[in-house]
C-alpha cells in the first residue's frame, strides 16, 4: 500500500482511487462489459465475450490507472 501526499497536503491511496474508477463487470447480452473513468470527461467501455478475459483486463487496467495516478501526483508535488 503506497500512500501519496498531494501538493495540498492531503494523503491519498492511488489503488483505492483506481479501484473506485472502474465499474463492476456486468453481463449485457452475449458480452461482459465494464467501464473505466480515465479522466473527468473520459469514460471508456470495454466488452468481452469471455468473463475470464474481462476480469483479467479489468485488473490490468486498474493497475495502469493506479500507476497513472501515482505519476500525476509526483509531477504536481
State pLDDT tens for residues 6-28.
Answer: 666 677 788 888 999 999 999 99
pLDDT by residue (tens digit) across 18-76? Answer: 999 999 999 999 999 999 999 889 999 999 999 999 999 999 999 999 999 888 877 66
Long-range (24+ apart) CB contacts under 8 A made by 21-24 are 21/65, 22/58, 22/61, 22/62, 22/65
Q: How do the domains of the chain map onto residue ranges?
A: 4-76
The pLDDT assigned to 75 comes to 64
The pLDDT assigned to 2 comes to 73
Amino acid at each position: 500500500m503506497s500512500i501519496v501526499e498531494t501538493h495540498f497536503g492531503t494523503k491519498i491511496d492511488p489503488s483505492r482511487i483506481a479501484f473506485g474508477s472502474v465499474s463492476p463487470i456486468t453481463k449485457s447480452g452475449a458480452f461482459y462489459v465494464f467501464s473505466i473513468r480515465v479522466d473527468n470527461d473520459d469514460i471508456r467501455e470495454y466488452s468481452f465475450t469471455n468473463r475470464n478475459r474481462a476480469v483479467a483486463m479489468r485488473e490490468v487496467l486498474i493497475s495502469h490507472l493506479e500507476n497513472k495516478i501515482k505519476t500525476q501526483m509526483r509531477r504536481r508535488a
